[in-house]
C-alpha cells in the first residue's frame, strides 16, 4: 500500500536554495488542502556540502522518504543527482540540472569531476525517466542564475499532485516581490523545458 501520494527528494549543494524549493512545494500542498511532510538539511552541511530535502505530499507519516521509493528526484546539481539516486523508485523520474558546482575536492585536484554522460548513464538505469537541462543557463536567461532553483520548480510542476496556479501562488508568497518577475519567468522556462 502507498503511504504517500507523491514523494520528492530535492538535492543539491548548500547555498543553491534547496530549502526554498521545499518550502514552496510544502506551502502549495497546504493551499491545495493536502497534508504534507518535509525534512531539511540544516547546520554543518549547509556550508557548501551536499544537501538533501525530502517532501511528501499527501502523507501523514514521517517526513523521511525510504530509499527506492521517491517518485521524483529533483537535482540542482548533476553529481548530487547520482549521489542520491538510490532514493528513486523504479518508476521514478529524475529531473537534473546539468550545470556542475565543483567541490573543493575537485578544485584542489584531489578528485575528478565525472562527465555529464558518466553521471546520466547510470541514472538512466535506475530511473524510469531522466530529464536533464541546463537550469542554470535557463535561469540566467530569465534574468538571474540565482533563480536556478525556481527553474527546477517549474520543471517538477507537472509531476506534483498540485495545480500549477497553486504552486505559483506559493511562489509569490515566498520570494521577495522585486524578484517575482524573474522567478515567474524562470518557472515558465523550467516548465517548458520538460514538456
Partner 1 sequence: MREYLLGNVAIARGILEAGAGVVSGYPGTPSSEIVDYLAPLAGEQGVHVEWSVNEKVAMEVAIGASWTGTRSAVTMKHVGLNVAADPFMTLAYLGVGGGMVVISADDPYCHSSQNEQDSRRYAAFARVPCLDPADPQEARDMTLRAFALSEEFGVPVMLRPTTRVSHARADVLVGPPTKRLAGPRFEKNPSRRVALPVHARPLHSELLNKQAGIEAALEKEPWNRSMVRSEVGVIASGIAGLYAEEAIAGMEAEVSLLRIGTYPISRKVVGDFLEKVRQVLVVEEMDPVVEEFVEMVAKERNPDLEILGKRSGHVPGVGELDPLTVRDSIARMMGLPSRPAPKISPQILSILPPRPPALCPGCSHRASYYAMRKAFGKDAVYPNDIGCYTMGVGMGTVDTCLCMGASITVGAGIRFGGEERPICAVLGDSTFLHSGLTGLLNAAYNGARMTVAILDNSITAMTGHQPHPGAGRTASGQPSPQLSLEDICRSLGASFVETADPYEIDSMIETFERARDHPGLSVVVAKRACVISEIRSGVRRPRLKVDQEKCEGCRICVNFGCPAIEFDGTVAKINALCSGCGVCAAICPQQAIEVVK
Q: Which residues bind partner 1 (CB under 8 A)?
A: 1-3, 13-14, 22-23, 26-27, 29-30, 35-50, 61-69, 79-80, 82-83, 85-88, 90, 102-109, 111-114, 118-119, 122, 125-126
Which secondary-structure segment (H or E) carries 174?
helix 164-174
For the CB of residue 35, give the shortest distance to partner 1 in the complex, in Å: 6
Contact status, residue 127 vs residue 93, Cβ threshold 8 Å: yes
Question: Which CB sits closer to partner 1, 31 or 188?
Answer: 31
For the CB of residue 120, give the shortest distance to partner 1 in the complex, in Å: 12
For the CB of residue 183, give the shortest distance to partner 1 in the complex, in Å: 19
CA atoms within 13 A on the CB side of 39: 10
For residues 155 and 33, give the distance between their C-alpha atoms in angstroms, rounded to a whole number.
Answer: 22
Question: Which CB sits closer to partner 1, 50 or 180?
Answer: 50
Question: Which CB sits closer to partner 1, 3 or 165?
Answer: 3
Instruction: Work out the number of other CB atoms within 10 angstroms of the CB of residue 179.
Output: 15
Question: Which CB sits closer to partner 1, 50 or 131?
Answer: 50
Show the beta-strand stretches assigned E in the chain: 4-13, 36-39, 50-59, 70-75, 88-97, 129-133
For the CB of residue 144, give the shortest distance to partner 1 in the complex, in Å: 13
CA atoms within 13 A on the CB side of 179: 15
Amino acid at each position: 500500500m502507498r503511504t504517500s501520494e507523491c514523494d520528492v527528494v530535492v538535492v543539491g549543494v548548500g547555498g543553491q536554495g534547496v530549502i526554498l524549493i521545499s518550502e514552496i512545494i510544502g506551502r502549495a500542498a497546504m493551499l491545495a488542502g493536502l497534508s504534507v511532510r518535509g525534512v531539511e538539511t540544516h547546520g554543518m552541511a549547509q556550508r557548501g556540502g551536499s544537501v538533501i530535502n525530502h517532501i511528501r505530499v499527501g502523507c501523514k507519516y514521517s517526513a523521511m522518504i525510504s530509499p527506492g521509493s521517491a517518485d521524483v528526484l529533483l537535482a540542482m546539481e548533476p553529481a548530487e543527482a547520482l549521489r542520491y539516486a538510490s532514493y528513486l523508485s523504479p518508476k521514478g523520474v529524475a529531473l537534473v540540472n546539468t550545470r556542475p558546482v565543483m567541490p573543493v575536492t575537485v578544485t584542489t585536484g584531489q578528485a575528478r569531476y565525472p562527465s555529464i554522460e558518466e553521471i546520466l548513464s547510470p541514472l538512466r538505469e535506475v530511473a524510469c525517466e531522466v530529464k536533464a537541462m541546463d537550469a542554470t543557463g535557463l535561469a540566467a536567461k530569465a534574468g538571474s542564475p540565482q533563480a536556478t532553483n525556481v527553474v527546477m520548480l517549474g520543471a517538477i510542476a507537472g509531476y506534483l499532485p498540485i495545480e500549477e496556479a497553486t504552486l505559483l501562488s506559493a511562489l509569490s508568497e515566498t520570494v521577495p516581490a522585486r524578484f517575482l518577475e524573474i522567478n515567474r519567468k524562470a518557472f515558465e522556462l523550467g516548465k517548458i523545458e520538460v514538456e
